[in-house]
Every structure is written in C-alpha cells, then in structure tokens.
Amino acid sequence: MDLLPKPDQVVAAAGNVASKVLYGGVADLRKLPRTLIDEGLLRQLYHYRPAGTAVEQGDPVLLVTPLAAPASCFDLRRGCSLVEHLVNEGRRTYLVEYGEVSFRDRNLGMEHWIEEVLPEAIRATSAHAGGRPVHLVGWSLGGIFMTLAAADQADLPIASLTIVGSPFDVTKVPMIAPLRPLLKVTDGPWGVKQGMGPVTRFYRAVGGAPKPVVRWAFQLTAAQKLVTKPLVKLQNLDDTDFLAQIEAVDAFTSAMIAYPGRTFGQLYHRFVKNNELSRGSFTMGDRRIELSAVDKPVLVFAGSSDGIAPIECVRAVVPLLTGSPEVDFQVVPGGHLGMLTGRAARTTMWTTLDAWLDRWSSDAAADGPHTAPPDTGVDTFPGTDTGAGEPKGTPAIGANPQRRYGSGSSRSLAP
C-alpha cells in the first residue's frame, strides 16, 4: 500500500479487514476433494479426484509429505496449491500422509517409513493407476525418505524422483553450524558420555518431539519474518493474495504433527550430529543403503532463501547420485515452504516440474529417447517480485548457475 493510499487501495484494504472480522480471513483454505485408497500403520494414501469432467492421463504423481508436516504443504490454499495445479493439468495425483503421531508410536524408527510406508504407497499408487510407473515428489524430509526407499528397493515401480528442499548435508545449514561443537561433547554434567545428553533425555522422556516443539522450531527458522509480520501485513492490507498466503502459512504451521521418539532420535544423532547422509549412505539394520543405487532420473530443487535447507545443503545430494541417468539441479525463489507452494512457485517450480514429468513419462519413453531442452541463455527472471519478500534477480529455470549439470545436455553414465 502506498504511503498515501489511493481510493482503490483504501476500498481493497477495507474489504480485507471486513473479511477478516466477519469471516475469519481472506484465504480459501478448502482442500481438494480426495479419496482414501490404501492405509496401514501411520500410512494413508489418497487419490485426488479429477476436476469437473476432466479425464486423468499419464503416469501417476505421488506427493510424499515429510514427518511432522501436515498434507497442506502440497495443498496450501486454493489458487496456490500444487495439488490443485496437478489435478487441473489432468495428472493422476496421489498423496501419502501419516496421520497423528502419539506416544504409543515412540518405538517406530525411520525403517518404518523407508521399508514399509513409502514402498507400500508407491506400489498401491501404481496399481491404482493401472500399473503405470510413479513419479515421486518429496518435500524436505519426505524427499530424503523417498530417495532412501528408491535406493533400497530397486524393484519399485518408479518413473522419476523430484527432491524439494531436502537437507542432505547439515553442515551447510547456518543455524545448526554454531551448535555442532556442542553436539560433539562427549562428557559433562549431563551424562553425555553415556549418550544421555539433554536433547536425548528430553525426547526419550516425552516419546519424541511434541507438536508445540515442532511448531516452535519451524517458526524459529523465520524469526525475523515472525517479528515483522504485523507491520508487513499492515503495509499490504490492500493485497488480498498476499494476506491469503500469510493466513494459509499460519494455518499450515498450526497443524504441525509430532515426531515419533525413535525416529526423532535417529534424525538427531545420525543426521544432525553425524551428518551421515552427506557421505552417500545410510545404515539400516544389518545393511547399508547407498544413494548411488538410485537408478532413476532425479530433479532437485533448492530454495533461494531457504533457511532450513540452504542451496549448498540440498545440492550436496547431486554428486552422490552416480547411478542416476540424469540429475538436474535447480534453484527457485522462496524459503523452505515458499519454494514449494509460494506465490512465485506458480511460474517457477511448478512449470519446471511439469516439463520434467512430461519428459520422463512412460508415454514419452515409448516415443523415443529423452532429450534435454536447449539452454535459454537467460540468467535471471526479469524483475521477479513475489510480493512476499523474495529477491529480484533470482536464478532462472533452465539456466541456473548453481546447477550441477548443464541444461544443454543430460548427464550420461554410458561408457
């Protein structure tokens, strides 16, 4: 809103205030209609019904949520929902989520999701879609779990993987770096020597990471925005779409889910303290899962302003995927959630994902070999302004200087 508001801005601001007071807000938070098609222990697989009289076509897309995050990460609000976009494109769209985690689930480890939840969801999705291979799209920890599942079980019917903001090298996370020396302490008054430091004592006592802690940790990553949010809302009181996005993100944050105790312990000790994934493998039981075993094409997205999984933290997975026929790395506008479902995602991340899904569809494979699109030669999105604090001059899709492999050609492993 201008310093001296114009008449139309005053009218728009008054309408937004009235909507907030009378109806609770301006965001359309209705979720896309869906049907439960398969379920198990902390596993619900949903199929989103086609829009109107539309007919679904092509390979299915399975959206993989991370632990502790509600499914609204993919279906944030009408007009800014990846689910809505995929459904409107006529794609067979599915989503796996995990339901409420309680104290009784405290003994479940990562093995449950890597060995059971995701493989079962992938197979059920393929079966429901007529036996077609599945394109996986995983955000944050969901991207890590699906990558490990794909590496662990080579017979899964997978067409491609899309990793969105997944932290594979936590040493590249600025907010964790100062804490790492403390995490390495091996003795002290807390009994750390016996593996019972304060963090371990806490999650064992409460059976994991409770909802309030998860919600607080997510908000902490954007502490500055949290402090300035009242002023920013006031400055944008006439921008309905901006206010709707803030309301939707608030609703998402308030719906955070708890982490099971054993899983949280594994994430803390093996990911945060020991940075195990950065070495390209993960030990599970009596075997080791190698990321080099992933033999499907992989698209990797990093957010330009992501504080949870910064660019270098995400890009660390690229050189580890040596078994993949192609790994494409892209930097898109937005923070951890914004890159996936922010307002700028409509014309950046989503359009790139569309092209990727079309390129690696089983129908396209039947027509001939895959070829990479030509490099556009454009270095930035001209004048990009998302209206939510995203910087201008963000690296462009298809010509990203941060990508590991050039857009002019695929990375071939052929001799």
Q: For residue range 255-309, what is the model confidence (pLDDT) as tens digits?
A: 877 667 677 778 877 888 889 999 999 988 788 999 999 999 999 999 999 988 9
Burial tier of 270 (Cβ tally within 10 Å: 0-12, 13-18, 19+): middle
How far apart, in Å, do the first and last CA atoms of the chain sit? 59
* Amino acid of residue 315: R
What is the DSSP pairing of strand 34-40 with strand 134-139? unpaired
Who has greater pLDDT, 413 or 33? 33
**Is-contact 375 396, C-beta < 8 A?**
no
What's the confidence (pLDDT) of residue 284? 83
Q: How far apart are CA 271 and CA 142, in angstroms?
A: 14
Quickly state the pLDDT bin for 197 (edges 50, 70, 90). Answer: low
> Torsion over CA of 178, 184, 188 and 193, rounded to 10 degrees?
160
Residue in this structure with the two tokens 């492999």, named with its chain if needed: 405
Quickly state the pLDDT bin for 372 (edges 50, 70, 90). Answer: low
Who has greater pLDDT, 176 or 379? 176
Residue 33: which of 80, 89, 1, 75 has the closest Cα? 75
**Is-contact 309 301, C-beta < 8 A?**
no
**Is-contact 314 167, C-beta < 8 A?**
yes
> Quick one: average pLDDT of 61-75?
93
Q: What are the boundaries of each domain within the chain?
A: 31-179+260-367
What's the confidence (pLDDT) of residue 68? 81
Residue 241 corresponds to which tokens in the numbers above? 């779409």
* Residue 241 pLDDT exceeds 60: yes
Who has greater pLDDT, 360 or 218? 360
Residue 340: which of 156, 83, 195, 164 has the closest Cα? 164
What's the confidence (pLDDT) of residue 264? 77
Return mean pLDDT, the chain: 77
> Quick one: average pLDDT of 334-351?
95
> Quick one: average pLDDT of 99-111?
76
Residue 335: which of 165, 122, 138, 195 has the closest Cα? 165
Residue 362: which of 118, 133, 48 has the closest Cα? 133
* Residue 183 pLDDT exceeds 70: no
> Quick one: average pLDDT of 318-331?
97
What's the confidence (pLDDT) of residue 56? 92
Domain 31-179+260-367: CATH superfamily, name plus number: Alpha/Beta hydrolase fold, catalytic domain (3.40.50.1820)
Who has greater pLDDT, 413 or 155? 155
Q: How far apart are CA 400 and CA 392, in angstroms?
A: 15
SS3 of the chain: the string is: CCCCCCHHHHHHHHHHHHHHHHHCCCCCCCCCCEEEEEEECCEEEEEECCCCCCCCEEEEEEEECCCCCCHHHCCCECCECHHHHHHHCCEEEEEEECCCCCHHHCCCCHHHHHHHHHHHHHHHHHHHCCCCCEEEEEECHHHHHHHHHHHHCCCCCEEEEEEECCCCCHHHCCCCHHHHHHHCCCCCCCCHHHCCCHHHHHHHHHCEECHHHHHHHHHHCCHHHHHHHHHHHHHCCCCHHHHHHHHHHHHHHHCCCCEEHHHHHHHHHHHHHCCHHHHCEEEECCEEEEHHHCCCCEEEEEECCCCCCCHHHHHCCHHHCCCCCCEEEEEECCCCCHHHHCHHHHHCHHHHHHHHHHHCCHHHHHHCCCCCCCCCCCCECCCCCCCCCCCCCCECCCCCCCCCCCCCCCCCCCC
**Is-contact 380 119, C-beta < 8 A?**
no
* Residue 395 pLDDT exceeds 50: no
Residue 221: which of 173, 181, 264 has the closest Cα? 173
CA 7 to chain centre: 40
* Residue 393 pLDDT exceeds 60: no
Who has greater pLDDT, 414 or 364? 364
Q: How far apart are CA 242 and CA 153, in angstroms?
A: 43
pTM score, whole prediction: 0.77
Question: What percentage of the chain carries pLDDT values higher than 70?
Answer: 65
What's the confidence (pLDDT) of residue 286? 83
**Is-contact 162 138, C-beta < 8 A?**
yes
Query: pLDDT of 4-20, one tens digit each?
Result: 566 666 656 666 566 66
Residue 343 corresponds to which tokens in the numbers above? 């307002």
Q: How far apart are CA 251 and CA 77, in angstroms?
A: 10
